[in-house]
Amino acid sequence: MRLRISMFGAVLLVLAGGGWWFATQRPLPVPVAGVAEDVPVTVFGLGAVEARILSRVGFEVAGTLVEVLADHGDRVAAGAPLARLASASQEARVARAEAALLSADAAAQRAEAQRERAEALLAQRLATARRRRELASRGVGSPESAELAETEAAAAQADLAVNRADAAVARALQAEARANLRAERTTLDKHTLRAPFDALVITRAREAGAALNPGEAVFTLVAPDSIWALAYVDEGRAGDIALGQPAIVTLRSRPGRRMRAEVVRIGLEADRVTEERRVHVRCLACSEMPVIGEQAEVVIETRRLPRARLVPENAIHGFDGASGTVWTVEDGRLARRQVRFAARLVDGSAAITDGLPEEIPVAIRTGPGFAPGRAARAVAAP
């Protein structure tokens, strides 16, 4: 009986010792990072399709919409008529302004004729006064006659001044009538809504018969060549973004189609709540017109690394975006090293390019048995 107990105890000790050795002393298989060639460093942003030039256009005057000449999806040229308001009353105002201008023109012509007549009369009176004064000085004529002629010349001088003032007033009234006519014609022209630029109609908001207030939107227009995507990028990953960098845009409605784009604007103000930056990319090869406001995924390539080892961020201890501690396999033992990373990738990994010799394997997964000095063997990652 004692022999059996001793043998059972010995077996338990052997099993416990084997379990301890297997758990703590056997070489751990450690998946390690391989060396990747030509690694693209990309940044991900989620946003929407927008238009740099978007206008909600309406009439500058109030009125009743009587004609709508464009519809959703139409392409219109700059200056093309889009809609018209009822304009009969304004046309009557234009006609009245035209008649007022004709009257002002006639009054100006009459005042000018009177001025010319006054100038001619003044010239005659001055000549008569001069002759009578000469006759009176020679004793041929009477002084009273000469004085009367000079008085009549002075009166003609005053009449000329009055007529010149009347002509100036007539010209001013003529200019005022002309300006009023231009104003009425401009108001009449505002009864026709025209495209401010070469545009695509994306919204038609009103129909014929609607009573409109000034500034009320009738159409929403966009310039087709100004379509771009606005992406919100984590500011912790946006530091290397620059103008002109290539990007790939994927629309939510076309998940399998990747459109080439480039960075054309980088926001100078970050969102203080979401800690994101606004980055605009412009499509270089859009197969068709995107939908304004549609969700878009944007991947921006900031640079490419000739050679790098990629380590998942969850295998890095104390990672601050630029450095951290990784597990390595050195001389068959686990060790910890502080390393710096060249870039963070969109797949959640960080790239080591230098500072750590390539012959020292770097673990890409960690486990509960990891401890400095523990026996380990490097295995290629699947």
User: Residue 154 and residue 23: Cα distance in Å, rounded?
Assistant: 132
Residues whose CB is less than 8 angstroms from the CB of residue 250 and which lie 6 or more positions away in sequence, other chains included: 257, 258, 259, 296, 297, 299
Residues whose CB is less than 8 angstroms from the CB of residue 179 and which lie 6 or more positions away in sequence, other chains included: none
The tens digit of pLDDT for each residue in 281-332 reads: 998 877 677 788 889 999 999 989 898 888 898 888 888 878 888 988 888 8
Average model confidence (pLDDT) across the chain: 85
Residue 7 pLDDT level (bands cut at 50, 70, 90): low
Q: Return the pLDDT at 100.
A: 92
Report the CATH number of the 54-86+191-222 domain.
2.40.50.100
Q: 20 pLDDT exceeds 50?
A: no
Q: What percent of the chain has pLDDT over 90?
A: 37
Task: Confirm whether 26-38+305-380 and 54-86+191-222 share one CATH topology.
Answer: no
Residues whose CB is less than 8 angstroms from the CB of residue 293 and which lie 6 or more positions away in sequence, other chains included: 48, 49, 50
The tens digit of pLDDT for each residue in 150-167 reads: 787 788 788 778 888 888
Range with lowest mean pLDDT among 24-28, 57-61, 218-222, 228-232? 24-28
User: Residue 200 and residue 51: Cα distance in Å, rounded?
Assistant: 11
User: Residue 37 and residue 341: Cα distance in Å, rounded?
Assistant: 16
Q: Return the pLDDT at 319.
A: 86
Q: Taking the domains of the chain in order of start, what are their residue ranges?
A: 26-38+305-380, 54-86+191-222, 88-189
The yes or no reply on domain 26-38+305-380 and CATH 2.60.40 is no
User: Residue 219 and residue 81: Cα distance in Å, rounded?
Assistant: 12
Classify residue 208 by its DSSP letter.
T
- Give how far the C-alpha of residue 1 lies from the chain's centroid of Cα atoms, to the nearest Å: 92
In 3-state terms the chain splits into helix, strand, coil percentages (rounded to 5) of: 35, 35, 30
Helix (H, G, I), strand (E, B) or coil at 89: helix
Range with lowest mean pLDDT among 116-130, 237-251, 259-273, 276-290? 116-130
